[in-house]
Amino acid sequence: MKIEELVRRDAEKVTPENLEEYRRAWAKVIGRMPKNSEIWPFIDDDEIKELYKTRSVRTESGVAPFAVMMKPHYCPGNCVYCPLEEGMPKSYLSDEPAAQRAKKLKFDPYLQVEMRIKQMEETGHITDKIDLIVIGGTFSAYPDDYKLEFFKGMFDGVNGFVSDTLEEAQKYNETGKRRIVGISVETRPDWVTEQEIILWRKMGVTKVQLGVQAFDEEILKKINRGHSLDEVAEATRMCRNAGVKICYHFMPNLPGSTPEKDIEMAKIMFNDPRFEPDYLKVYPAMVIPTTELHKMWERGEYQSYADEDLKRVLKEVKRLTPRWCRIDRLVRDISKQWVSSGTLRTNLRQILQAELKKEGKKCLCIRCREVRAGVYDAEVKLLIDERETLGGQELFLSFESEDNLFSMLRLRLPEKDEKMLFKELEGAAIVREVHTYGQVKGITAMDSGSEPGMTDLQGDSLKGEESQHRGLGKRLLVKAEEIAKDRGYKKMAVISAIGTREYYKKLGYELEGEYVVKML
């Protein structure tokens, strides 16, 4: 018998308590232990389905994220630590999961998206709201024609059919069954230009990952990074004023640094108004064969930190991370066959969390506070954090309860004399992000416009409710509009992803150029 027939036959008798017994019984019949993805589609009980879902944490931030890799191409950088494997984009290795998938599919964006959606759905994940992470060397260095073609392929893959143009694919995605609610690209700060940002917005990009690596000019020279901190600051200012979310890549343990220096650089990153990223990926330097860093290590000119020193640095980075920043990654998942020197622990995040807890300390980053799957009895409060940044004020509005973050909004108030790249942003306050956390829900509720509302902005109750589609994001948007109007802004502009435009249209926003806009 096939596993499908066995599961269907026994489905009504299976309970959370006895499902492992049935799993072993099925294994005897088919001669192997069945995969979760083979069992899940034929179970009706929601509680059992949740138990069989593979890595439910993947969609517990409210969206279904996955990476799509571009083909190998010239990278303008010549950094000492960066590997270059034949047949792969620079800095990526072929046995990393997204890289394996991309290489197998000849870097075809449509096929990568199609396969990843299929994998996620087979393991029990809802894929209505998709967050695409475009990876592969320096995005800005690829030819514009290829970038546009690649994005069309991704949109077509999500839509499930091939459109004639990128614009046609985007238009369909606004109301499609699956929608793209975010797209990020990764590039170098010195390759961020006005024309590049204009192209990003045409393609639907909402977030950029900037390879900064260090906040010290001497270290940047020593690693042959090829840009200065002034270029990091200018790239950050331009992206913020276009509403784009910003993720920095930060590398402790680079040549010329020390644990103390790394901690000081983290303080500069979070406290200097020129920087202050919305998101962060921390990638401690690793020594990989064929790199210049490997030669330095062989000559005795470079030495990796001991694990205890590295943990001390990373714990301090986590402790210093402000409540408006999310640590997306902590240590890159590179298999040990590539690493000549450097940490081999890929579960460092969990180790650090346990040690911080033991020491009575906390990481207050968004990821450590965002609610996960579940139902909550909570009184949520509106919190507003305001700070000065280069070119304008940043406000972080959030609904929180103790250490749980339910919903947040990033509001940009550009200085009045700032030159804006897009005419639709002139005189506007800019919403750069609205995000409600919790296990991802389907788009039907988002489209209906009938979210249960709150009675008040202070002390709202979430008793017995899950967090998505409860009106929290809408309430934050109303508050942001009030603040913008009080500060003298004539209109509000939102850097809406293609797939969230319908949501904003139901709240009185209209599409102008690449943004949704509402007069205040």
Tens-place pLDDT, residues 277-313: 999 999 999 999 999 999 999 999 999 999 999 999 9
At 452, the pLDDT band (50, 70, 90 cuts) reads very low
Q: Phi/psi at 464 (nearest 5 deg)?
A: 65, 25
Report the C-alpha gap between 204 and 15 in whole angstroms. 44
pTM attached to this predicted model: 0.87
pLDDT for residue 49 = 57
369 token code pair: 């506070």
At 458, the pLDDT band (50, 70, 90 cuts) reads very low
- Spell out a b/e string for 324-341, using b for 16 or more CB atoms within 10 Å of the CB, else e: bbbbbebbbebeeebeeb
pLDDT of 453 above 90 = no
325, 269 Cβ separation under 8 angstroms: no
Q: Does domain 379-519 have CATH number 3.40.50?
A: no
Query: Residue 51 has what pLDDT?
Result: 55
pLDDT, mean of residues 314-324? 97
- Residue 364 backbone zone (phi > 0: left; psi -120 to 50: alpha; other: beta): alpha
pLDDT at 465: 54
HEC readout, 16-56? CCCHHHHHHHHHHHHCCCCCHHHHHHHCCCHHHHHHHCCCH
The pLDDT of residue 332: 85
What pLDDT digit, counting tens, does each position of 128-179 carry? Answer: 999 999 999 899 999 999 999 999 999 999 999 999 999 999 999 999 999 9
Evaluate if residue 187 carries a pLDDT over 50. Answer: yes
Give me the pLDDT at residue 68, please. 97
Band of the pLDDT at 2, cuts 50, 70, 90? confident
Q: Domain residue spans in the chain?
A: 3-52, 57-196, 379-519
Name residues whose C-beta falls within 8 Å of residue 310's C-beta, 6 or more positions apart in sequence: 252, 253, 259, 284, 343
Q: What is the mean pLDDT of the chain?
A: 89
**3-state secondary structure labels for all residues of 67-123:** EEECCCCCCCCCCCCCCCCCCCCCCCCCCCHHHHHHHHCCCCHHHHHHHHHHHHHHC
For residues 339 and 9, which has the higher predicted lDDT (pLDDT)?
339
Is residue 518 pLDDT above 60, yes or no? yes
- What are 371-396's pLDDT values in tens digits? 976 656 678 999 999 999 999 999 99
Beta pairing partners, 295: none
